[in-house]
Structures are given as structure tokens and as C-alpha cells.
């Protein structure tokens, strides 16, 4: 799998390839089944330059957690992706 996509997000937006719903990461994230909003995980495939004096801090290849309803679905080059603002990203997994 290559994460290169033919699109550049504007400003503080980030394009993410969501992990399959059942996927377990190396870090062992399991999304608990509760009433609260469940964060999802995915891999950053492209990040914008950020806003004035606030560069984006995630980078291509980062595995990130984000809110279940964050972002907008897009399909680029046959991949189903999400585009969201960096502030919708909760954490970077390592």
C-alpha cells in the first residue's frame, strides 16, 4: 500500500485513510463498546501547511485517533479517505 494521493489539503486540513473497522494496531488500540463517541483510527496520507503561525504537527504515515463523526468522506485514486481539520485529531499512536 502506498499512501501517496493526488491531492493537497488546504490550511489545517488532513487527509486520512481510515483503518478497517476490526483492525488492531501494533499499539493494540481496541475501541471500547460504550455509549460515548468512539474514536476511530487511521493513517495520515496528506497534511496541509497549517494556518498562520500554526503549522500542522501530524505528518504523512502517522497513525492517528480521531472522533467518530470527524471529517468528510472522499474517494481519491480509488481509495476511500477522510478529510478533516487537524484539531479533530485526538492523538498520534506510536
The grid coordinates of residue 1 equal 500500500
Select from 34, 43, 59, 60 the one that contacts a copy of itself (CB under 8 A). Answer: 34
Contact characters 48-67, a copy of itself, x per CB under 8 A: xx--xxx--xx------x-x
How many of the chain's residues bind a copy of itself (CB under 8 A)?
A: 47
Please state the φ and ψ torsions of residue 62, each to the nearest 5 degrees.
Answer: -65, 135
Select from 2, 13, 16, 17 the one that contacts a copy of itself (CB under 8 A). Answer: 13
36 binds a copy of itself (CB under 8 A): yes
24 binds a copy of itself (CB under 8 A): no
- The CB-of-60 to a copy of itself minimum distance in angstroms stands at 14
CA dihedral 30, 36, 66, 78 (to 10 degrees): 80
- Whether the CB-CB separation of 9 and 48 falls below 8 Å is answered with yes
- Whether the CB-CB separation of 43 and 67 falls below 8 Å is answered with no
Amino acid at each position: 500500500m502506498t499512501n501517496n494521493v493526488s491531492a493537497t489539503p488546504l490550511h489545517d486540513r488532513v487527509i486520512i485513510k481510515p483503518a478497517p473497522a476490526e483492525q488492531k494496531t501494533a499499539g493494540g488500540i481496541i475501541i471500547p463498546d460504550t455509549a460515548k463517541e468512539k474514536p476511530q483510527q487511521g493513517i495520515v496520507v496528506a497534511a496541509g501547511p497549517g494556518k498562520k503561525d500554526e503549522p500542522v504537527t501530524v505528518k504523512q504515515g502517522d497513525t492517528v485517533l480521531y472522533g467518530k463523526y470527524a471529517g468528510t468522506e472522499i474517494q481519491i485514486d480509488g481509495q476511500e479517505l477522510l478529510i478533516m481539520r487537524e484539531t479533530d485529531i485526538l492523538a498520534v499512536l506510536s
